[in-house]
Structure 1
Amino acid sequence: MGNCEQRVPEENLEIVDLAALLHDIDDWKYQSDKEKPTKRAVAFLQSESVPADKIERVMTIIDCMGFKEELEGKGSRSFSVEYGCVQDADRLDAIGAIGIARCFTYGGHKLRPLYDPDVPPIDSMTKEQYMDPNRPNTTINHFYEKLLKLRGMMKTNAGKRLAEERHAFMETFLDQFHKEISGRG
């Protein structure tokens, strides 16, 4: 993404690379203690003697790029091209064929039901609802609660363009899923 239409200045490519590589290591979904987020990304960058100003720029991207941040408005403010490239690349990984595979893998890991007609998706969820581990949820709901919304949240022109085909693929998949689950397909 860093080499698409919205060019990242050469001197900032390292910021993009570091944020892209490290953005998930402190992700709340993978933490055992949700109340005390770790700062392994900062510790790693410091151990590699990355200058403090560069660490701050990397962490600004990482701290604001999650879906939950956009639910509370943090991610939708004005953004740098570096932030847009990293966030769009991450979101593109979450949609389309690879995104579908990842969704089912994660849902299985969390022992989530595949589908339950008695557990409807939440259309406009809050950050608290999204992060609630006790909220009844299904893997299919995740498409409606998050994945199908990502196309409209892309920041760069390249991200918007690439998201179109992946979004359409997910819609086709879900149409077929609902046909089969209802006995029509």
Structure 2
Amino acid sequence: MNLSQVAAAFRPFDTLAAQLLPQVEDDAGDGSHDLSHLLRVWNNARRLQAEEGGDLRILLAAVILHDCVRVEKNSPLRSQASTLSAQRAQEILLSRGWTQEDAQRVAHAVQAHSYSAQVTPLTLEAKIVQDADRLDAIGAIGVARCFYVAGRMGSSLYEALDPQAQQRPLQDTRYALDHFPAKLFRLQDGFQTAAGAAMAQARQERMRGFVEQFLDEL
């Protein structure tokens, strides 16, 4: 994919997308936070916006810029990633003539999207971006991303003698399977919009079904 082709997928905001995408073109080789991820989150956001409302221009900018500062999952700075991205997003938009108010709306949505940052989304757009990003972390895509990241970080699939962590603490930085109860199964309870919660329920069922099948094969 080249950037012009990707920008076209963000219609009717393809011109704005073409301006912002070069700011996030370098994904540091992270296939779980690449251009495909941005497109999936945008598609989620549009589906949510169609039911919940919200400013699509703000949503588009927040979606494209929500990971504009790259911080690896195993970095001690991981909890600050969304704050760093929010600061950078605001700088980018102000340099392109956005008003302070609109740039701040985007920045808030960027900062609040992160699970680890624990920032409460206060605007509808921030709630939609958080839900749209979390939808991409669960379901079939979520399963794929979980094992992709585990491989990238050098983690094992599961702990051989106690895969369900019945007699040990969860260690999702060491075992991919631990990441499901440690985080992914918990995401469904935190959705901000009714439309997002409904989509999350379906994806949660797919993800739980996968884990049940995985354990059955063990």
Using the TM superposition, give the Cα deviation of residue 138 of structure 1 relative to its aligned residue in structure 2, in angstroms.
1.2
Alignment of 1:33-72 (within 5 A): 34=77, 38=84, 39-70=87-118
Q: 1:33–1:163: structure 2 CA closer, same or farther, 3 Å change rule?
A: closer
2:216 corresponding residue in structure 1:
179
AA paired with 1:54? Answer: D
Q: Secondary structure at the match of 1:161?
A: helix
Tell me the C-alpha RMSD between the 2 structures: 2.8
In 2, Cα distance between the equivalents of 1:79 and 1:40? Answer: 20
Contact map agreement 1:6 1:156 (CA 8 A) in 2: yes
Instruction: Compute the displacement of 1:158 (Å).
Output: 0.8
Structure 1 gaps, min length 5: 124-128, 130-134
1:94 to 1:122, Cα distance in 2 relative to 1, 3 A: farther
The percent identity for this pair of structures is: 33
Q: Deviations over 1:53-105 (max 9, x none)?
A: 211111111112211123xxx32xx6321111111110111111111111111
Which residue is equivalent to 2:147?
104
2:183 counterpart of 1:146: yes
TM-score by length of 1: 0.76
In structure 1, C-alpha distance between the alignment counterparts of 2:169 and 2:113, rounded to whole Å: 21
Cα distance change, pair 122–150 in 1 and its aligned pair in 2 (3 A): farther
Letter in 2 for 1:147: L
Pair 162,60 (structure 1): closer, same or farther in 2 beyond 3 Å: same
Q: How many residues align?
A: 163
Could you say if the C-alpha distance between residues 33 and 142 of structure 1 is closer, same or farther in structure 2, counting changes exceeding 3 Å?
closer
Structure 1 residues 19, 165: CA separation in 2 closer, same or farther (over 3 Å shift)? same
Letter in 2 for 1:42: Q
| Aligned equivalent of 1:7, options 53, 56, 60 | 53
1:180 deviates by: 1.2
Contact 1:19 1:58 in 2 (8 A): yes
Give, in angstroms, the shift of residue 167 of structure 1: 0.2
In the TM superposition, what is the alpha-carbon distance from 1:118 to its structure 2 partner? 5.2
Task: Please give the secondary structure, in 1, of the residue aligned with 2:77.
Answer: coil
Take 1:164 and 1:34, find their aligned partners in 2: how far apart are those partners?
31
Which structure has more RCO (C-alpha within 8 Å, separation ≥ 6)?
1
Give 2:11's aligned residue: none
The verdict on how the C-alpha distance between 1:6 and 1:40 changes in structure 2, with shifts beyond 3 A counting, is same
Letter in 2 for 1:60: H
> In structure 1, what is the equivalent of residue 205 of structure 2?
168
How far apart are 1:14 and its partner, in Å? 1.4
The 1:33/1:140 distance shift into structure 2, 3 A limit, reads: closer
Q: Which runs of 5+ in 2 are unaligned?
A: 1-44
* Aligned partners of 2:128 and 2:193 also within 8 Å: yes
Please, what TM-score do these two structures have when normalized by structure 2? 0.65
